[in-house]
Chain A
Amino acid sequence: MALKESPSQTAGPYVHIGCAAQTAGLEKRGMGDQLGGQMVPAGQDTVTLAITILDGSGEPVKDALIEIWQAGQNGDYTTSDEFQNWGRQASDLSSGVAHFETLKPGRNGTQASHILVWIVARGINLGLTTRIYFPDEDNTSDPVFRLAGARANTLVASQTHVGYTHTIRLQGANETVFFDV
């Protein structure tokens, strides 16, 4: 039986209700806990990853939902009590910055340390997939990084005193590379 994938539709401006209820201002009431908010157990050291998405006018996108998926420090994708490989945060409704408390992933085979980033929002008809690489790693032999050629610099985060910060540009001269996976 050959079927077609269900067509995508925008997550819209109220995506938080379903995927990041605290941001929507939704009280918990009868619902279970919000998912994806905690990747590392409380009290453990983390690396802060701050992601900002800019639109074509250079303004921060303040209603996006961002998911990340990454290897653990050992480079594999096996979730454990010590590390959840999946995280989900909303862009802050005022500043547009999304903060993840995570661990820096290890290398995975021939792949340099990297984080898959998936973005949905109002005005985005099909979720956008990109990657984050690290400025303090040798990315040059990574097969996906190499595909991006001269635009690969748009995939590299900047170091901060608590971790990394990364700007994703949806349009313009330095438009971030988005992948057809």
Chain B
Amino acid sequence: MTEAPFKPRDLSWHPPAFFERYRSTHLRAPQQPLLQMPQTETELTGPTFGQNDLGPLDDDLITNYATPGQSAQGPRIIVHGTLRDEDGRPVPGKLIEVWQANAGGRYRHVNDGYLAPLDDNFGGCGRCLTDADGHYNFRTILPGPYPWPNGGNDWRPAHIHFSVFGDGFAQRLITQMYFEGDPHIALCPIVQAIPSDDAIDRLVARLDMTRTVPMDIRAYRFDIVLRGRNATIFENQREGT
């Protein structure tokens, strides 16, 4: 074993398993508390991915489902940021997968029958690896908000789903990215299940004019943080310290 275990996950920072206003949790939230266990080699390790696992257009949702020469409909955006751990260290070479609705709020999925039409040129699936500095970058279109069955007049804020791998399976994370200024963020039970506004704010991407390309495409910045590691224990630590 070469690396220290991961820091305990702060469960009070994440949305609780059961949340009254998010009805799908009612029959799916475990009722017993999670059982704490020490990390073993199983949790400290995880799959690795390389450029060979990806196709050349995987990070470009504007064109990766489009007929050659055409592109997806909707406001063109770059989504980029840095993957770090809780100690602030960049996490390079890790797989990030994204999926999203089209500009009208419709998913290309057999189970989505929303009124908004599909876009022949948009699939809604992308992926990339973080570079040596932990940075990632996608091109896509701004997803639309959409209604969902939750017992009332519920609309999801525009969002992009993110799946992130770390060094060990204990870091595995799926989350969602929102867009600054969206009034649905404050109304959405899925978002508001997150206990604090401070934590919610970490999922809100900012318009980034420094990466916006004039006359072409706007940029949003979304940084992602994975669990860090416990402090390294040095073998030559002085007695009594």
Contacts and interface: CB of A to CB of B under 8 A. Distances in A.
Interface stretch (A27-35, A43-51, A95-103, A133-141): A27-35
Nearest to A87: B47
A180 B115 CA distance: 40
Given A125-B14, A147-B37, A25 B174 contact: no
B46 A179 contact: no
Interface residues of B, number: 91
Contacts of A19: 97, 99, 163
A12 interface: yes
Given A7-B15, A7-B194, A19-B163, A55 B28 contact: yes
A6 B88 CA distance: 12
A17 B108 contact: yes
Nearest to B15: A125
Contacts of B46: 69, 86
Contacts of B22: 10, 123, 125
B191 to A, nearest CB: 8
Given A2-B88, A175-B30, A179-B36, A9 B15 contact: yes
A166 interface: no
A180 B11 CA distance: 9
A30 B55 contact: yes
B97 A18 contact: yes
B207 interface: no
B170 interface: yes
A56 B123 contact: no
B173 A178 contact: no
Given A93-B111, A125-B15, A178-B30, A15 B99 contact: yes
Nearest to B123: A26
Given A9-B175, A93-B111, A30 B57 contact: yes
B161 A15 contact: yes
Could you tell me the dominant secondary structure of chain B's interface residues? loop
Could you tell me the dominant secondary structure of chain A's interface residues? loop
Nearest to A57: B27
Interface in B49-108: 49, 53-55, 57-58, 63-66, 84-88, 95, 97-101, 107-108
Contact of B169 (A18, A59, A69): A69
B57 to A, nearest CB: 4
Contacts of B87: 1-3
Interface of B: 6, 8-11, 13-17, 19, 22-32, 34-43, 45-49, 53-55, 57-58, 63-66, 84-88, 95, 97-101, 107-112, 123-127, 161, 163-164, 169-170, 172-176, 190-191, 193-194, 199-200, 202-203, 224-228
27 contacts: A3-B88, A4-B13, A5-B86, A5-B225, A8-B175, A10-B174, A13-B111, A17-B124, A18-B98, A18-B99, A26-B124, A30-B66, A31-B65, A32-B55, A56-B27, A67-B172, A79-B48, A84-B47, A111-B40, A116-B42, A118-B169, A125-B25, A126-B11, A151-B32, A170-B28, A178-B34, A181-B169
Given A116-B42, A175-B31, 4 more contacts: A1-B88, A17-B108, A21-B125, A111-B40
- Per CB-CB distance, the 8 closest pairs between chain A and chain B, nearest first, are A123-B24, A32-B55, A18-B99, A1-B88, A86-B47, A123-B28, A180-B34, A56-B27
